[in-house]
Structure 1
Amino acid sequence: MRRYDSAAITRYYRLRPWRAIWRTVSILWQFIGFLLGLKWDDWTQQSETYKPKRAAQLRHILTRLGPTYIKVGQALSTRPDLVRKDFLDELTKLQDQLPPFPTPIAFAIVEQELDRTIDEIYAEITPQPIAAASLGQVYRARLKTGQEVAVKVQRPNLLPTLTLDLYLMRWASGWLAPLLPLNLGHNLALIVDEFGTKLFEEIDYLNEGRNAEKFAANFADDPTVKVPSIYWRYSSQHVLTLEWINGFKLTDMQKIRESNLDQDALIEIGVTSGLRQLLEYGFFHADPHPGNLFATADGQMAYIDFGMMDQLSQEMKETLVDAVVHLINKDYVELAKDFVKLGFLTPDTDIQPIVPALETVLGNALGQNVRDFNFKTITDQFATLMYNYPFRLPAQFALIIRSLVTQEGLALSLNPDFRIVDVAYPYIARRLLTGESPALRRRLIEVLLKDGKFQWQRLENLISIARSDDHFDILPTAQLGLQYLLSEEGHYLRQQLILALIENDRLHTEEVQRLWNLIKDDIKPAQLFNAAIGALTDLSAAGATSLLPSVAALIKPPSHQSKAQSKAQSTSATRLNHSSL
């Protein structure tokens, strides 16, 4: 099989029930023995003495059970908030310290796949793998042309184990669903299918190579993110040759200190690149555990292993941005509607009873540090909600959540007190303020306007948050903002800004002064003048004509009658804007 097909797998194992029965007995036997061992340690009051032994026992069980269970262990190894330290140290070994398969078998696979001998391909290659993972192992080599490369060779006969485990997981989902919290069972089979689809993609190394090149193209403008080049001439479905990365794992604190790297800066790169994957490109790394992420001596973060990736639609990306905006604004009615669009609630769900519950759960979550603001905390708080309301987990979001929790766990391991919101908020604010697309500009309007009134405080907050990012330059943003305000597209926001400036028959100079005090240290008058000239240069004659009514409104404050008319126009424009959104 080249692609995952649940129906074909089911047909195959229904005709071979003894295989499924034997595998089930094997899995249960090993875990029951482990649990009985833990209980025996409690009964004999020797839990502390045997902790290292039980942790190693769990790692060996997952290793013996194969790649599916190894991946579960890898995910748990990134969660110090969920797994106690003695077990965590052992599970971390599942990332790249698994038992290798014999090198002669690996070299035979390379020669068969590439139709050349090892000596014909490589000037030198390590006699033993330098790392072994769940699906393959890696050798360090040098090509005849001199480039230093990593040679990734897939484990033999993976399909029988993967298909049998997926069949049992799908079968178990039928009777396990009612027992699970958070309504996970609503489409648990779809989640298993999504996982199966990604596993099959992951064991196709040609697909992984294409993913790596697409990922590299997305981050071509980001010098902090490194992606290895692919050597297609020396790659196939089961062998992948890629650029060697000189670096060390992000969890190697000693190497990070010796290299004088800033831990918080590394976390910022990871969080920001994760947000860009989800909200800008929609193409994200779904397996970012520490074995797949490296730091380089010059402070870059290198991504490797692009087998498990996923792509979000443009609509889903925009809805995710909507959800973030509504969460920042604490607009829980619109947030509930976002849950419907994302598939967490069905379209016929009555969201009114859900809104106060969302406010209760999420209301105080945003100000917490990374140890408190994690998915376990939110999931625990959501547990009662999920029993009382028809929430469900869309299949695609299983991978998104896995990606987020592993990156969150990595941040925890680097610095438990690091505040994720300190990185995420400036990124969101910067994207909204620069407004590089019409969709983002519409969302900026949504942030700045409420009930047809301009929200000065929100603009101040956005600028303050964005300025906390060292990479944020207010001057180009000011020029972009001015260009937008002077454009035809910015007519509505321009009108609302004029109305806000002359609201209640007075010029609101205090708000403008506060904004100026916020940015004056970053902008010199000459620079501001140049930015204005740059914006006006792009202004057409038609655009200039459209500005005249707005300028006239500033010159001549409105009478009571005109104020009423302005209010009516504002209401009309608000309705129009809401309909366009």
Structure 2
Amino acid sequence: LIRLAGASGRRPVRGKAGIPSTFRRPSLLPRLQVHAARLLSGEDVVLKVQKKGVQGSLKADLDLLYANARVLQLLGVVTAELSDVVATLRSAILEEIDFVLEAQRTEQFAEFLARSPELDGVVTVPKVYRAASASRLLTLERLYGVPLIDLESVRKYQPQPELALIVALNTWVSSVLTNEWFHADVHAGNLLVLTDGRVAFIDFGIVGAIPAATAEGMLDFVRSFPAGDMAGVGRALEKMGFTKELSEEQSAAFAKDIGEVIASIDSMTADIATTASAGAAASAIDETQLNRAVAAVARVAEG
């Protein structure tokens, strides 16, 4: 039961989507699936409404598409790759319209933020109102803000817009490395700067994930590279799958090759800077250094 604000005041309208009787004054615009509303308890919310039959018809279409891909594969017209692509697409689309799953992901991301004290009061996600949600209705806290790319509007709430961008980027990267999944649809509409200056992530219909070993390798790389620990860099690259599994002796040789690549690049960079400061052409690079760097890269590639 939803209470609409009509010309003659409030009137109850019974819906067919299992909509709980906790709303009043929603602005239900024709053909839109996202609406503003207010709970009877007073909280401003956003309603994501899915039309009846959408999941069933979409699933039927995707199943037919996958079946056709499989038939073409069996006939030898296409390779198995097409079936794999269609299967992945089918899974992603069905997940995107699964409001129960989206509610769960939104709450999980809130838990991820709660595990990061440095993000407290800096980054947020909308609260999920479970009691006011259903299979085809997702009720979320309404957040007031502006898209992150609208710099003029952002400056009203954050004097240094670049700081908001850095916060958003750091949060996203942290979620990639430490959370079981990450927001895979980060664009202007899904990143807001709120009126209180916080950054908000919204719309968790599409997410991505990387294997735990890869995430661990990425963290190791971030720690090892700035410290000049080439052995650590080598092990990190191995964890991420950039090379085959190596023996202890091979790992040591791999680390040495990586160190030579970095040293060669650093040497050329220093020479370019020196040449440029002397007023000469900045592109003047010692050919011996260049050959040495190329050879070092080749050894790493072979490893």
Say whether 1:203 aligns with 2:104.
Answer: no
Report what 1:321 is aligned to.
219
Q: Deviations over 1:263-295 (max 9, x none)?
A: 111012112212321233343212211111111
Shift of 1:197: 3.3
Deviations 1:47-89 (A, max 9, x none): xxxxxxxxxxxxxxxxxxxxxxxxxxxxxxxxxxxxxxxxxxx
Residues 1:154 and 2:77 aligned together: no
CA RMSD of aligned residues (A): 4.4
Q: Retained in 2: the 8 A contact 1:225–1:301?
A: yes
Instruction: Note if contact 2:230-2:259 (Cα within 8 Å) is conserved in structure 1.
Output: no
- Structure 2: runs of 5 or more not aligned: 1-13, 270-296
Return the offset for 1:233. Answer: 1.8
Gaps of 5+ in 1: 1-109, 178-184, 368-384, 392-581
Instruction: Give the structure 1 partner of residue 163 of structure 2.
Output: 265
Give the partner amino acid of 2:43: Q
- Are the aligned partners of 2:70 and 2:83 in contact in 1 as well (CA < 8 Å)? yes
Q: What are the equivalent positions in structure 2 for 1:385-404 lying under 5 Å apart?
A: none
Alignment of 1:474-485 (within 5 A): none
Q: Tell me what 2:24 maps to.
A: 123
- Pick the structure with greater CA Rg: 1
For the structure 1 residues 283 and 121, does the alpha-carbon distance in structure 2 shift closer, same or farther, using more than 3 Å as the test? same
Give 2:174's aligned residue.
Answer: 276
The letter of the residue matching 2:104 is R
Shift of 1:324: 1.8
Determine the structure 2 residue equivalent to 1:253: 151
1:140-187 C-alpha deviation (Å, 9 max, x unpaired): 11122221110002352333454566678899999999xxxxxxx9x8
Question: Contact between 1:284 and 1:309, CA under 8 Å: does it hold in 2?
Answer: yes
Task: State the distance in 2 between where 1:190 and 1:224 align.
Answer: 40
Is the CA contact 1:170–1:192 (under 8 Å) kept in the aligned structure 2? no
> Among 340, 344, 349, which residue is 2:238 paired with?
340
Q: Secondary structure at the match of 2:163?
A: helix
Q: Distance in 1 between matches of 2:260 and 2:138?
A: 46
Match of 1:145 in 2: 41
Distance change >3 Å, CA 290–CA 125, structure 1 → 2: same
* Cα-to-partner distance string for 1:24-55 (whole Å, 9 max, x where unaligned): xxxxxxxxxxxxxxxxxxxxxxxxxxxxxxxx
* C-alpha separation in 1, matches of 2:202 and 2:144: 12
Provide Cα deviations, 1:114-148, integer angstroms capped at 9, x if missing partner. 166xxx4421111316x96xxxx311111222211
Deviations 1:311-350 (A, max 9, x none): 5565443222112233334556654543332234444898
Using structure 1 for the length normalisation, give the TM-score: 0.36
Q: Which residue of 1 aligns with 2:124?
A: 226
The Cα offsets for residues 227-246 of structure 1, whole Å up to 9 and x where unpaired, read as 11111122223221111111
For 1:210-221, what aligned pairs fall within 5 Å after superposition? Answer: 210-220=104-114, 221=117
Shift of 1:261: 3.3
Contact kept in structure 2, 1:332 and 1:359, CA below 8 Å: no
> Once the two structures are superposed, what CA deviation does each residue of 1:238-263 show, in whole Å capped at 9, x if it has no partner?
22111111111112223113335311
Q: Does the Cα contact within 8 Å between 1:114 and 1:234 map onto a contact in 2?
A: no
Q: Secondary structure at the match of 2:159?
A: coil
Deviations 1:387-418 (A, max 9, x none): x9699xxxxxxxxxxxxxxxxxxxxxxxxxxx
In the alignment, the residues of structure 2 paired with residue 171 and residue 390 of structure 1 have an alpha-carbon distance, to the nearest angstrom, of: 40
When the two structures are superposed, what TM-score results if normalisation uses the length of structure 2?
0.63
Alignment CA distance shift 1:262-1:238 (3 Å): same
CA contact (8 A) 1:330 1:363 kept: no
- Kept in 1: contact 2:122–2:198 (CA 8 A): yes
Letter in 1 for 2:95: E
Q: Percent identity?
A: 26
Please give the secondary structure, in 1, of the residue aligned with 2:91: helix
For residues 542-561 of structure 1, what are the structure 2 equivalents within 5 Å? Answer: none
Please list the CA deviations of residues 369-403 of structure 1 after superposition, one character each: whole Å capped at 9, or x if unmatched: xxxxxxxxxxxxxxxx9xx9699xxxxxxxxxxxx
Instruction: Tell me the secondary structure at the aligned position of residue 215 of structure 1.
Output: helix
Distance 1:168 1:139, change over 3 A: farther
Q: 1:115 to 1:290 in 2, by over 3 A?
A: closer
